[in-house]
Amino acid sequence: MKVKRNTLLLLACLVWSAAGFNILRIGLLAYPAYGTVVNYLLSVLVFAVFQWMIFGKLVKKHTARIQSYAEERHFFLKFFNGKAFAIMAVMMSGGIGQRVSGLAPERFIAVFYTGLGAALLLAGLLFGRNYGRAICSTAAAQTK
Quick one: pLDDT at residue 144?
66
pLDDT per position as a tens digit, 32-54: 999 999 999 999 999 999 999 99
pTM of the prediction? 0.90
Residue 28 vs residue 104, higher pLDDT: 28
Please check the confidence at residue 82 and state whether its pLDDT lies above 90. no
In this predicted structure, the answer to whether residue 140 has a pLDDT above a threshold of 80 is no
Helices (H), 51-103: 56-67, 82-101
The number of folded domains in the chain is 1
d(CA 71, CA 59): 21
Neighbours of 32 (CB within 10 A): 8
Provide the CA 137 distance to its chain's centre, in angstroms: 24
Cα torsion 82, 83, 84, 90: sign: positive
CA–CA dist 73, 132 (Å, integer): 18
CA 131/CA 110 separation, integer angstroms: 31
For residue 125, what are the domain limits?
A: 2-72+80-143
